[in-house]
Amino acid sequence: MTSHEIKIHFQQYASVEELNEPDKALCLESVKALQNSHSPYSKFKVGAAMRLQSGRIIYASNQENVAYPSGLCAERVALFYWGANHPGDPIESMAVTAHSDEFKIIKPVTSCGACLQVLAEYERKQGRAIKMLLYCQGGPVWAATGIESFLPFLFFEDRLTQPNQTPAIRHLNLVGEGGNKNL
């Protein structure tokens, strides 16, 4: 048996006031994004502001639906909007904040695993890391560049993206000629 240890690296700032001006401004923009949250079921609003290389800011918020799996987190709303509208303008950073009238939020809210996996995919797509700012209004900010700081076991399977293969050939490469090999 071999034992392994994973360490993550992030910075914690006591407040948004400790950040450099661009990061502070982006955190404050994420608060604006809370306004469009559709969260009548959880009453937990999440806002995201994403800065692109051009300086453009994309705003997004969580969008719930009575059929819970049909809703989307703020981070994925922002990323999918970017992918559909601005894929040639790389993402530099994203700030995420949350608010609830039901309870006080005392530390930064982290992105869910699905959002982190999508962030990882988009980092890979654009060929560069994204700086994440997790902002607790009236509290600390956690910052890290590169999603692996928050999701150390990213899922990537390079055999799924081999160029010049038809889906049938790609399937054979994954499962082998004898069928499913317990992938």
Question: What are the structural domains of the chain?
Answer: 11-150 (3.40.140.10), 153-183 (no CATH)
- Report pLDDT for 170: 43
- Any idea which residues carry the catalytic annotation? 75
- Report pLDDT for 164: 57
* Model pTM score: 0.84
Residues facing 102 on adjacent strands: none
pLDDT one digit per residue (tens) for the chain, 183 residues: 999 888 888 999 999 999 999 999 999 999 999 999 999 999 999 999 999 999 999 999 999 999 988 999 999 999 999 999 999 999 999 999 999 999 999 999 999 999 999 999 999 999 999 999 999 999 999 999 999 888 888 787 776 665 655 554 444 444 444 444 444
Residues facing 8 on adjacent strands: none
Residue among 156, 158, 134 at smallest CA distance from 8: 134
Q: Where are the beta strands (DSSP E) in 53-130?
A: 57-61, 91-100
Cα 59 to its chain centre, rounded Å, is: 13
Q: What is the C-alpha to C-alpha distance for residues 123 and 59, in angstroms, rounded to an integer?
A: 18
Kindly list the distances between the CA atom of residue 91 and the CA atoms of 40, 126, 151, 173, in Å, as whole numbers in the listed order: 30, 8, 18, 33
